[in-house]
Amino acid sequence: MLRIIDARTGEPAPAAPARRAPTRVEAHVPEGDATALRVLLVADLLARALELDGTPVWTVLAGAAERERLRADAAALGVRPFEDGPAAGHGQGVRVVAEGAPRGADGDAPEATTVAVAPVHPAAPGLADPDAVRLALLERHHHARVELDAAALDEARDTLARLRRAVADWARHPSRPVPGEVRDRLRAAWEDDLDAPGALRVLRQVETDPDLPDGARFEICAYADRFLGLHLTRDVGSAP
C-alpha cells in the first residue's frame, strides 16, 4: 500500500484511505516558480503511483498564478495535465503543497492528508533541457531541498543519455519478464513516501547486475518509467 508522510502529523498515512477508491490529487501552487513546478511533479508522481496500484485518480490545480505558463512548463517536464480548481470536492483527496504553505487556503480541505514539498533553488526554472531538470529533481527526495545548479543538470543529462543508450541496446535482445524480486523493490520504493531516489538506485543496480538478461533490463526500465516519467525508451529503434 502506498504510504506518504502526512505534513500535518509527521507520520506515515495511506495515500488512498479507501484502497482503489477514486482519489483526488490537489496541487496547491500559489507562485509560478521552480518550487511550484516541483509541487506539480510530486503530484504527478503521486498520481502515477496510485494508478500503478489500481487506484483511479484525477488531478486538480488550485490557486496557481500565471496558470498557462505554469501548465506549459509542467508539460515540458512530462507532468500530465491537471484540471482547474477549486480543489475541495467530493470523495477522498490528497493535497500536495509547498513546504510551509498555510493550511486552508484556496478553499481547500485542511483536514486532508498533505504532502509537503521542499523548495528548489534557484526560483526561476531553467527548462532548456526539461528531462534533465526532471531527473535532477527526482534524484532528491521531495522532503529535501534541491539545488538546480549547472553541476546537477550536467550530471542528470549524462545519466539520462547513458540510460537511454543502454535501454535502446537492451531492446534489441529477446524480451524477458521483470523478475518479481526487482518489481517488488521498485514498488517498495515508490510506495514508501514516493521514494524516487530509491527507484533510481534500483535501476543503477539493474544496469550492472551480471545475472540479468538484457531483455529483462529493458522491461524493468520500461516498467519503472511508468512512475519516473523520464522517457527512458525514447531512443528505442534509433540508429546506433
Residue 105: predicted pLDDT: 52
CATH of 153-228, one of 3.30.1380, 1.10.10, 1.20.120, 3.30.70: 1.20.120
Distance CA 37, CA 70 (A): 7
Q: What is the pLDDT of residue 48?
A: 97
pLDDT for the residue numbered 96: 95
- Give me the torsion for CA of 162, 203, 129, 80, rounded to 10°: 140
Q: What is the model's pLDDT at position 108?
A: 53
Q: Contact at 8 Å (CB) between 131 and 78?
A: yes
The whole-model pTM stands at 0.93
pLDDT at 3 (0 to 100): 94
- Strand partners for 59: 25
User: Residue 1 has what pLDDT?
Assistant: 86
- CA separation, residue 113 to residues 16, 17, 23, 25, 152 (Å): 9, 9, 12, 10, 31
Instruction: Specify the 3-state DSSP secondary structure of 89.
Output: coil
3-6 and 11-14 strand pairing: antiparallel
Report whether 16 contacts 115 (CB < 8 A). no
For the chain, 240 residues long, give each residue's pLDDT as a single digit of tens: 899 999 999 999 998 866 677 899 999 987 778 999 999 999 999 999 999 999 999 999 987 777 888 899 999 999 999 988 655 555 678 999 999 876 655 555 557 899 999 999 998 877 889 999 999 999 999 999 999 999 999 999 999 999 999 999 999 999 999 999 999 999 999 999 999 999 999 999 999 999 999 999 999 999 999 999 999 999 998 756
SS (H, E, C) 171-218: CCCCCCCCCHHHHHHHHHHHCECCCHHHHHHHHHHHHHCCCCCHHHHH
Residue 211: predicted pLDDT: 93
Phi, psi of 21 (to 5 degrees): -85, 150
Instruction: Give strand pairing partners of 39.
Output: none
pLDDT at 86 (0 to 100)? 58
- Per-domain residue ranges for the chain? 3-148, 153-228
